[in-house]
Amino acid sequence: MFDRRDFLKTCGAGGGALALAGTSTLAFGATQANTYDTLVVVFLRGGMDGLSLFSPGGSNAHRGAYETARPTLKVPLSGTGAGLAVSSDQWRLHPRAPQLRDLYVGGKLAVVLGAGMPAPVTRSHFDAQINMEVGLAGQGGGVGWLTRVLETANLPGTVQIPAVSAGSITSTSLLGSTEAITLGSGSDFRIDSGSWAWNVEPDFRTTAPPGARGVFGTLPDLWSQAGDLEAAGRQTIDALNVIKPIDFAAYAPANGAVYDSGSSFAQQLKMLAQLIKRDVGLRIATIDLGGWDTHDGQGNPANSYDYFGNKVDELSKGLGAFYTDLNGSGAANYAGTTSVVVMSEFGRRVRENDDGGTDHGYGNIMLALGGSVNGGQTFGSFAGLSTAQLFEGADVMVTTDYRRVMSEAVIRRLRNPSVYYAFPGYSGYTPLGIFQGSDLPPSGADRIFANGFQ
């Protein structure tokens, strides 16, 4: 049997099939039933201001300190731009996030307080992002933490697309993976594209002269001999036969879900929803939403200019449409097997600066969304906003290791206990109860001697 991993190893040595394809778009094997879970990791790049997305409410003891630290940037309790009360007004979601509020009230969205990487503390975007995405404090390794999850997932060899990095570049959390593909849009599943006549293929919904043959029709002739590379080529053609009929442009979201056509974030979520519904074996997906580095001109929901609110609007509408599209009953309940975790590299300073913005901080919030999330509540603890309760007297304290949240998602939803391998140096995991599912004893993984060779 020539499975998916053999194919990738052969292509890594020979490179012939990939050179002809021209992109890193691979698909593997035959369709399988969607009896697995999918984890979608959304990274808000730039350091999202968690205290504006999820601010202390009217009954929160920290409200006074919040208003003192943010006289012009605070999300108000009443009037124009008032926050959306949740948890008996202990907290307020940003007014531009009604979709997130509805999901929270409906028990499908949870908020993790004081989340972040406990050590080493850094306010560098680059260092903080790579620490989190490699899953190793102090960087190092060169392999993403989600790559290590995939390595220990015991995936069947027939899985078509185990992992997708939505966007133009591969997420650092999936670096080093031979299982992941990078897709900016669904059209990247094609190998027949371009302006050359021999690149035209009728069944790619194009018009071709009589007798024209495209790359897709020609490649099988090149792989007619026996051998590993030829077998790999034929397997690729078989997989593309499964994927290429997908008409991404004609996709109609379910339940009246509307994805913003002007948002690449929303359109990539739409693509992921289609792949999840096509049962291609998608276990892990990553997607970015940047633009959260608000040193100046952050805006305020009570004013006409609200830059931060525009970003929140894009996030909330995108995630709201994604959940609505996947939400169904019976075999169509993809929301029940899809979990979304939203994170950022760090939060912002508690005190606003003189430029109408906030500088790099430390602790932040995380969001967990899905049909199998114990939503409608917060998890973790919030240390407080008085000077004595802040990290170095300036930042929200990290009280919840982000790896604890991710480990729970991996164990309870992906059914993979190898979280100490995914996060080298992490130990002492205990679940917070964010996700539904069975617990497994957390473990590492000896990949070198996994085959018994000593």
pLDDT the model gives residue 14: 33
Q: Which residue has the tokens 């790579």?
A: 130
Instruction: Annotate 331-392 with DSSP letters as a single string.
Output: GG-GGGGEEEEEEES--B-SS--TTSS--B-S-EEEEEEETTB--SSEES----SSGGGSBT
DSSP state of 92: E
Q: What is the pTM of this model?
A: 0.87
Q: Would you tell me which CATH number, out of the four given (3.40.50, 3.40.720, 3.30.300, 2.120.10), belongs to the domain 31-189+248-422?
A: 3.40.720
Question: pLDDT digit of tens for each residue in the chain (454 aa)?
Answer: 334 444 443 333 333 333 333 333 333 333 333 689 999 999 999 999 999 999 999 999 999 999 999 999 999 999 999 999 999 999 999 999 999 999 999 999 999 999 999 988 999 999 999 999 999 876 667 899 999 999 999 998 878 889 999 998 999 999 998 888 888 887 766 665 544 444 555 544 556 666 666 666 777 777 777 887 777 666 566 656 656 777 888 999 999 999 999 999 999 999 999 999 998 899 999 999 999 999 999 999 999 889 999 999 999 999 999 999 999 888 889 999 999 999 999 999 999 999 999 999 999 999 999 999 999 999 999 999 999 999 999 999 999 999 999 999 999 999 999 999 999 999 999 999 999 999 999 999 755 444 433 3
> Among 331, 329, 315, which Cα is nearest to 43's?
315
pLDDT the model gives residue 383: 98
Residue 392 burial class via C-beta count within 10 angstroms: exposed 0-12, middle 13-18, buried 19 and up: exposed
**Residue type for 292, please?**
W
Phi, psi of 369 (to 5 degrees): -135, 135
Where in the chain are the domains? 1-27+191-243, 31-189+248-422
pLDDT the model gives residue 105: 98
